[in-house]
Amino acid sequence: MRRIAYCSPVNPVESGISDYSEELLPYLGQYADVVLFVERGLKPSNPQVRAQLEVRPLDELPSQQHKRPFDAIVYQLGNSPAHGTIYELAQQLPGVVVLHEWVLHHLKLWHAAERRKNIGVYLGEMQARYGPAGERVARKMLRGQLQDAAFGMPLVEDVVERARGLVAHSQFVVDQARALRPALPAAVVPMGVPLPRRIPTADARVRLGLPADGAIWASFGHINPYKRMESALRAFKRFRAEHPAAQYLLVGSVSPSYDLQALIRRLDLVDAVTVTGYVPRADFEHYVAAADLCLNLRFPTAGETSASLLRLLGAGRPTLVSAVGAFAELPPAVCALVDIDWSETALILAYARLLQSQPRIAYELGQNARRYVAREHSLQQAAEGYLGFLADVYGWNSFRRERDMLWTVEAPDVAHSGGTSIPQAQAQSNPSHPATPMNPLLAEVVADVSTAAAELGLRETDEQPLRDIAVTLADLLEDPRSNR
């Protein structure tokens, strides 16, 4: 059986990649003996990890490889200090890098300042790779002035240069890497998430102490200046004027450089917005189930594929995402795409109004999302994608399944599910492309506007004017008394 050195944070390290690895490892273990390498002194909190895998300190990998070579080395890399030692090892002992996001700028800044105690390393690389502009951005970043321009200076070049191969979860990241190194072996592999168990909304709200009635919005993940909170909260303020019982849940840790509470106070939403901080997985699942509308917005983007987003989609929740980077690769019937421009707040509000007033549309969007995750992002697909790519990179003749899963990840009621069913009448009409019922007035107006747009020469590629028309229509149809 092949031996794989797998380098990654795991719980109790508070990282999405910790959860990701603990879900993927039992599937990889069907095909290979996996040795997990973690920071020295870290004891995995997951008892299955401790019981089923050999766990060794990261700093022992070079000597282990010398004594008994591994058939493959896999490095899980993300843009956080949790990956500092993994980054160092990927430079010393090249292997296959799994790049969860294109931008490693913040990891590299931390690594120079905290690990090497030499900010000159960071300044020097920024100047060498990006010229005077890079040096200016670097000096501002060192003063704690977060810069959007940093997202265009990813500091990922040395990782791409040294890697034996690259795995990503989006074509966006693969294309960026191949632009730097065209001959780099690279592959898009499904991220793989367990299909969440079904939790009734009412049960979730009771457990969390939330009101049974009233619309609930929710955003998930680490909250920082790039999560578009001002646009989302401004849209929510307008929505709440129409639905006074509405609440907004912000589920995740908050960046110390972002004064979120000041923004909430300024918008007079203190009594309507709850910030939970980091929550355990079980609570996360209940917050997802409790929400009527989920938002996963970000710009600038680090090119990340968001596991938390896939969990929202897998739970069948209607979700809004920013139309940028890897998120723009999601099918349009799976989530609602929000442009990052002057219309952002208005578009969030228009979607929220539509989904609140048309629960059937919200239901279908959620079911499409759940089926998409079940079809395209299963953990079994992820494991097979990994093994196929490793076989190509390392020249294995073949790989095969040697044993059962090391431990169970998915809940019994969803482990082999393709998603929840849709009503029988609709399934019979078009099982592969479920139709969304349309209000007769809306259908008539859309037909007239479509004809006019075609006569003006607009095409499907003219996204912005078509989107502007859609937003205006949504506002007019929601408020027929409006004289706008």
Q: pLDDT per residue over 278-289, tens digit each?
A: 888 889 999 999
The answer to whether residue 293 scores a pLDDT higher than 80 is yes
| More confident position, 198 or 52 | 52
Average pLDDT over residues 196-213: 93
d(CA 388, CA 245): 51
pLDDT of residue 324: 86
Average pLDDT over residues 415-426: 32
pLDDT of residue 147: 79
pLDDT of residue 108: 94
d(CA 340, CA 324): 8
Sequence-separated (6 or more) residues with CB below 8 Å from residue 32: 1, 2, 3, 4, 71, 72, 387, 399, 402
pLDDT of residue 186: 97
Contact 320, 351 (CB under 8 A): yes
Long-range contacts of 467-471, Cβ-Cβ distance < 8 Å, separation of 24 or more = 467/339, 467/343, 467/347, 468/343, 470/350, 471/343, 471/346, 471/347, 471/350
Residue ranges covered by each domain of the chain = 2-104+156-192+378-394, 201-375, 438-484
Sheet holding 336-338, edge to edge: 273-277, 247-251, 216-220, 293-296, 319-322, 336-338
Q: Which of 39, 41, 31 is nearest to 1 (CA)?
A: 31
Q: Which fold has domain 2-104+156-192+378-394?
A: Rossmann fold (3.40.50)
Out of 70-74, 79-83, 396-400, 417-421, least confident range: 417-421
- Asked if the bond preceding 12 is cis, omega within 30° of 0, the reply is yes
One-letter amino acid at 350 equals A
3-state secondary structure of 450: helix
The answer to whether residue 482 scores a pLDDT higher than 50 is no
Give the containing element (helix H, strand E) for 140: helix 119-142
pLDDT of residue 370: 94
pLDDT of residue 211: 93
d(CA 407, CA 76): 21
Strands (DSSP E) along 109-169, which ranges? 165-168
pLDDT of residue 39: 96
Q: Which of 188, 326, 253 is nearest to 16 (CA)?
A: 253
Using one digit for the tens of pLDDT, what is the confidence trace for 207-243?
A: 999 999 999 999 998 888 788 999 999 999 999 999 9
Q: Give the model's confidence band at 453: pLDDT under 50 very low, under 70 low, under 90 confident, else very high.
A: low
- Do 2-104+156-192+378-394 and 201-375 fold alike per CATH? yes
pLDDT of residue 425: 28
| More confident position, 44 or 299 | 44
pLDDT averaged over every residue in the chain: 85
Q: Which CATH class is domain 201-375?
A: alpha beta
pLDDT of residue 82: 94
One-letter amino acid at 220 equals F
The answer to whether residue 429 scores a pLDDT higher than 80 is no
Out of 31-45, 123-137, 181-195, 324-338, least confident range: 324-338
| Residue 209 token pair | 């102490």
| More confident position, 148 or 164 | 164
Average pLDDT over residues 394-421: 68
Q: Give the model's confidence band at 483: pLDDT under 50 very low, under 70 low, under 90 confident, else very high.
A: very low
Beta bridge partners of 7: 37, 75
Average pLDDT over residues 382-398: 95
